[in-house]
Structure 1
């Protein structure tokens, strides 16, 4: 995240760094982790299976991103940074 300022400008959104050992500051992340744990015991799934789930979740449009997917938003931001 050394170039977080460039990302912030390109994506049009602020970058927030949570304090260490403060999971309450990462509510969405912690909630998603909890949901994934309901479906997966990570030690019994192959890396390819986990990567496929990550790709599916990252390609799902999100209301909070104006119905862009996280993957679309990151790709657009990466183009602006380079």
Structure 2
């Protein structure tokens, strides 16, 4: 079982929340809402997408690169944490 399958319910919940946010943008555009409101909605979706990306990347790194059981000679955990900090910062 892959790590994304183990986290399937949680990831799908996040995706469905983003789908709702995108639908809110569509409704706002159809209703000719103000630019400020639409920009806030777009920023929310962007943040949600970045959060999803960060979560999948982090789980990938932890599962495939630094799992000491599966990969005894893998990256050192400190280096992985530094990489994940950079990715989290970039995706904010």
Structure with bigger RCO (C-alpha 8 Å, 6+ apart): 1
Same fold (TM over 0.5): no
Q: TM-score, normalised by structure 2?
A: 0.28
Greater radius of gyration (CA): 2
Q: TM-score, normalised by structure 1?
A: 0.30
